[in-house]
Structure 1
Amino acid sequence: MARSKTRDEILTAATRQFAESGYKGTSLQDIAAEVGCSKATLLYHFDSKDAILAELCAPAIAELRDLLDQVAAAPDPDTARKIAVQGFVDLAMRHRREIQVIYGDLPALLLQPALQPVQVLTEQLHATLAGTSGSAQSRLSAKFVLAGLPAVIFACTEFDDETLRAALIATAGRALESLS
């Protein structure tokens, strides 16, 4: 049980450190110090900072894949877009810190092996949100939704999650509604 507890504490501390200082700005020693363990103990549980990042992001990446499966099974493009918006809002809210880590150091982190699928998955989600018109407005509206939702989630602390979720879905729907 102690090993699992320490591992969870390392992941919690790493998430907070990465979100506050960035992935590149956080050292293994920073994480170990926050947990109250030695760097050797940290390395017993994770062989590298990349391994910590991989474990932190794995659930969000798996949920993004599941979301895209749901989108692919939708009977029509409008339903697919609705599923994509609601699913992405829910995913972003559930994984606030992890997404904050990824968005904070996006170009560099996409080079990390653990996050290489994120770019492909995000492109698939973007295509669903943009629709089939191929217009500049549709592509930019989809990028706005993908980049803007997580940013708003990080910045909005004055709303409860239910209010925030409803407002984000409505706002994203308005941004995308002219694309139908």
Structure 2
Amino acid sequence: MPSSPPAPRVQTDASAELRAIALRMFAEHGYTATSLQQIADAAGYSKSSVLYHFRSKEALLEEALAPAVQTLGVLLDSTVARASSDELRSAFVVEFVDLLLEHRLAAHIIINQGQTLSDIPMMDEARRYIDCIGESFMSELPTTKQRVRLGIALAGAAYVLVASRPSAADIESIDEVREALVDVVSELIAGLNR
């Protein structure tokens, strides 16, 4: 009886797999406490394979954070205008909450490790975006109450998602959390025009 042919190996994008594993490990253990060897071991690759795809641990972090930072830049470009517009507010809140949920681990790293990783260009870019939104609060919202309201809404939503351990990345009821965040952020910023 002839032997069956081996099952075809599922092709995976090693770079994408390494970025995802590194992002999780950097969020869970911290960037400085995570080595390339640990990432390689978790992914089932050799360290040289990791270095084949990424020239350094910093390059791996940068590429892992890039999608979140780029999306953040696009979203925050018109935050105050969209958040204070009755017509645009709902769409903005949904986009903001979805950004946080989709890039939860990156947000965790940026928020919790941003100060200690300030020499990494992608981290600096993320922090510049966050600074820009803060500056736009100050210049575009006329009252302290409005600035505080928007700041608490956005920062509070981010904090809720990054305050828990990153290994809890699989939120039990993502739809319930998403709905609650959209409702609460919407309520908080509804008064920006008052």
TM class by shorter chain equals 0.7 to 0.9
The partner residue of 2:128 within 96, 104, 120 is 120
- Structure 1, unmatched stretches of 5+, are none
Q: Any idea what the Cα deviations from partners look like across 1:59-81, whole Å, max 9, x if unmatched? A: 11221222235658859644455
2:175 paired residue number: 162
What is the deviation of 1:95? 0.9
2:59 paired residue number: 51
**Aligned ranges for residues 128-143 of structure 1 at < 5 Å?**
132-135=141-144, 137-143=145-151
- Structure 2, unmatched stretches of 5+, are 1-8
Q: CA RMSD in A?
A: 3.2
Percent of pairs with identical residues: 31
Residue 4 to residue 52, structure 1, CA distance change in 2 (3 Å): farther
The answer to whether 1:36 aligns with 2:44 is yes
Name the structure with the higher helix share. 1
Return the alpha-carbon distance in structure 1 between the equivalents of residues 14 and 125 of structure 2: 28
Contact 1:19 1:97 in 2 (8 A): yes
Residue 87 to residue 112, structure 1, CA distance change in 2 (3 Å): same
- Three-state SS of the structure 1 residue aligned to 2:115 is helix
Return the alpha-carbon distance in structure 2 between the equivalents of residues 99 and 75 of structure 1: 20
State the structure with more CA Rg. Answer: 2
What is the deviation of 1:31? 0.9
Q: How many residues align?
A: 179
1:26 paired residue number: 34
- Three-state SS of the structure 1 residue aligned to 2:192 is coil
TM-score when normalising by structure 1: 0.79
Q: Any idea what the Cα deviations from partners look like across 1:37-83, whole Å, max 9, x if unmatched? A: 22222111101111111111111122122223565885964445544
The higher relative CO (CA closer than 8 Å, separation ≥ 6) is in 2
TM-score when normalising by structure 2: 0.74
The answer to whether 1:175 aligns with 2:188 is yes
What is the deviation of 1:134? 4.1
- Three-state SS of the structure 2 residue aligned to 1:108 is coil
Stretch deviating more after TM superposition (123-132 or 53-62): 123-132
